[in-house]
A and B are shown apart, each in its own frame.
Chain A
């Protein structure tokens, strides 16, 4: 079953002054449980594609359907709710809330969802255990290493049980050992819990582990490679 379907996506920045065509007709379908890497050189349009898939940006033209919903039809508030309930985000710079503990960061989106406290507690503990940080749940981001922070970010993204997780260069700020550890965890979650991951990355270690590699250049998909 396709989690994401896009058809002929176009995105043009500054259409009235100096137009920059970031996407030039991208059509993509991502199935549930995929571990997909979107790769390409800087300026190729992969971040724009990820922003549109995440409902953070809207295409100039084209169609985006996520979990059967045409997100271009949603209002600003509906889109925020949609992201909250269906999309998990992992950012390059972790972007945890510095004044909250690891536990509270993971709990945050569930709080926004209005989930009951018991459910929040059970899910937070389970996710922090899954990313190997159960013993660090009371620590604030400043008391965690970069790799640990990114693992908390992964747990936070998973907490609301999203349809898929968008990860924008999640290993860019991590050393090789920490990156491998993070990829192990994400691979395990993908395999065991059938979580769909879509990465934007330059990192060859991420590309090696991906089941599918979509290469974007000059705003078009030039290669879509499935691996066994």
Chain B
């Protein structure tokens, strides 16, 4: 076996220049594909992580039907032991309650729509590190504190600072009028521009009072380490909770637009990389064609002296595989420092470009992601290419007549 592999390896170096050019083209494709995929995945991971980790969480529990019609009237009544019971179902992972509803926020003559989120300060900080996102002022001291934390984008829009007063107006539980004046205790800044222009936080009990929804919550956020753990927890909850009372959603269901946008972007990227690989495949096929054509005589001799066609095909196939893998390995080696560099030093867009990203709700920072899966995928593609390439010499050898080939 080893001898045949050695033979295949030596065969690819018969024409060093041609092999190096072919390997270089494969290496370029692999380098490009890995860099693009890492960058794309890195960008999306960061954005999804921002949205999931900093607000939505990996899973949520609501009253049945709340997600389709997000109204405070579809809130849950929070019994003192409800959170503990739900937490027990998912391995005592924390469950963080929120009371959320839209409101109009005003200061002076300017008014804008905001999402008021009533939170338990300690639980929320543990879930989303909200305290760390305070860029001015301070975080909440207690669950009943009178005050609001305002997202930086809203503060900029309304011209507000810490210590100013914000007027909030909304419709509360069962149609009561909700209105109040709240001092701004701090400003928070999010990676996601969307969240930056949307969020106003209020301690849970203050929010319950504001909306006239004492003892109620619209959302119970599951505090999970990662998406995989969340999948298990969501499945467990769905199995154990009455669907007539509760609905349980995982993060992909909470942000379907982003998930489908990512899928669309992935598809576009895959098409582009696919076209690149197709071009490279044609180049590689040219090499395979020449390798096969110029050795027809030799193939005839080898079959004449007793080499079975199957073995000969195997050796030629390994040659093509080696040729492709030399390029693939080279491409991966070249890609590693590139991917690592942009992982440590993400691309930060500024100026017009940054504003364009922000308009679409995307943070203008794109790091690469270092994932073995991306590298392995390229190796699989190259492996697939080699299998397809091998069809030509396979057919040629299968139908080759030693006498005919040695006559030429």
Residues of A with Cβ closer than 8 Å to B? 51, 54, 56-57, 76-77, 80-81, 83-85, 89, 91, 95, 97-100, 108-109, 111-113, 156, 160
B174 at the interface (CB under 8 A from A): no
Chain A residues with Cβ under 8 A from B304's Cβ?
54, 56, 83, 89
B128 at the interface (CB under 8 A from A): no
Complex CA gap A41/B360 in Å reads: 85
B293 at the interface (CB under 8 A from A): no
Give A93's nearest chain B residue, CB to CB: B297
Contact B305 A83 (CB under 8 A): yes
Provided the pairs A80-B306, A80-B307, A89-B305 are in contact, do residues A111 and B3 lie with their beta carbons within 8 angstroms?
Answer: yes
30 example contacts (A-B, Cβ-Cβ < 8 A) are as follows A56-B402, A80-B306, A80-B308, A80-B309, A81-B308, A83-B306, A84-B305, A84-B306, A85-B306, A89-B305, A91-B301, A95-B297, A95-B298, A95-B301, A97-B298, A97-B302, A98-B14, A99-B7, A99-B11, A100-B7, A100-B10, A108-B305, A109-B305, A109-B306, A112-B305, A112-B306, A112-B308, A112-B311, A156-B305, A160-B306
B388 at the interface (CB under 8 A from A): no
B227 at the interface (CB under 8 A from A): no
Contact A51 B298 (CB under 8 A): no
Q: Which of A80, A84, A111 has the most CB of B within 10 A?
A: A80
B267 at the interface (CB under 8 A from A): no
Provided the pairs A51-B403, A56-B403, A57-B403 are in contact, do residues A99 and B306 lie with their beta carbons within 8 angstroms?
Answer: no
Give A91's nearest chain B residue, CB to CB: B301
Complex CA gap A97/B403 in Å reads: 18
For chain B, the bracket of interface size reads 20 to 34
Give a binary string over B126-169; 1 marks a CB under 8 Å from any A CB, 0 the rest.
00000000000000000000000000000000000000000000
Complex CA gap A98/B406 in Å reads: 16
B104 at the interface (CB under 8 A from A): no
Chain B residues with Cβ under 8 A from A95's Cβ?
297-298, 301
Chain A residues with Cβ under 8 A from B301's Cβ?
89, 91, 95
B303 at the interface (CB under 8 A from A): yes
Known: A80-B306, A80-B309, A98-B14. 11 other contacts (CB 8 A): A83-B304, A83-B305, A84-B307, A89-B301, A97-B7, A99-B7, A100-B7, A100-B10, A112-B306, A112-B307, A112-B308
Chain A residues with Cβ under 8 A from B10's Cβ?
99-100
Number of contacts between A and B (CB, 8 Å)? 53
Residues of B with Cβ closer than 8 Å to A? 3, 7, 10-11, 13-14, 297-298, 301-309, 311, 402-403, 406
Give B307's nearest chain A residue, CB to CB: A112
B10 to chain A, nearest CB (A): 4
Chain A residues with Cβ under 8 A from B311's Cβ?
112
Complex CA gap A56/B297 in Å reads: 14
Give A113's nearest chain B residue, CB to CB: B306
Provided the pairs A95-B298, A99-B11 are in contact, do residues A77 and B403 lie with their beta carbons within 8 angstroms?
Answer: no
Chain A residues with Cβ under 8 A from B403's Cβ?
51, 56-57
Give B407's nearest chain A residue, CB to CB: A47
Chain A residues with Cβ under 8 A from B305's Cβ?
83-84, 89, 108-109, 112, 156
Give B9's nearest chain A residue, CB to CB: A99
Complex CA gap A113/B311 in Å reads: 12
Complex CA gap A98/B368 in Å reads: 46
Complex CA gap A112/B308 in Å reads: 9
Complex CA gap A100/B306 in Å reads: 17
Complex CA gap A77/B306 in Å reads: 9
